Amino acid sequence: MPNSTRSSNASAPCRLEWRPSRSLACALVAIGLLAAGAVLSSELPAPWSLPLAAGAALYGAWLAGRELRRAPQQLVVSADAVALDGAPLDQPALQWRGPLAFLRYRDGSGRLRHRIWWPDTLDSTGRRELRLAWPVQTPTPDSLSMAP
């Protein structure tokens, strides 16, 4: 038809924000407090157990604070590339564990990095959008696995 408009198979890029999880921070504080309780309930002498329990509780609180101080980042998933804060990612891999989304990638210096979206940071609409936008990665068959 000469008057029909051309359609495009390309979809708009998926833009999601990664931000620190308050649920994770609460879990880190709880683990620190539970570790302190475990040390106190052990048969360790009091001069050893009290500083160790205080250290465990403080370390859990420090980890939670460090998690909450992380800066939010912008993830863009397009048909040809995946970028985090405008920088393209090397070897990005997305894995799902129930409502948790794990992104593993290599940064510019080759270090392995990861970002995790918890249910309090990525709602069900965002999870669906990320699943649909992520490029399909089919493993290449190993030539040694086939019979001669």
Reported as a pLDDT band with limits 50, 70 and 90, residue 24 is very high
Between CA 112 and CA 92 the distance in angstroms is 10
Please report the pLDDT score of residue 134 as a whole number.
Answer: 84
- Give the E-state strand segments of 50-136 in sequence order: 73-77, 82-84, 87-88, 90-97, 100-106, 112-117
What are 120's two structure tokens?
């309090």
Cβ-based neighbours of 6, under 8 Å, separated by 6 or more:
none
69-105 pLDDT, tens digit per residue, is 999 999 888 877 888 888 888 888 999 998 899 999 9
Residue 127 has pLDDT above 70, yes or no: yes
Mean pLDDT is lowest, of 8-12, 27-31, 47-51, for: 8-12
Segments making up each domain of the chain, as ranges = 22-68, 72-133
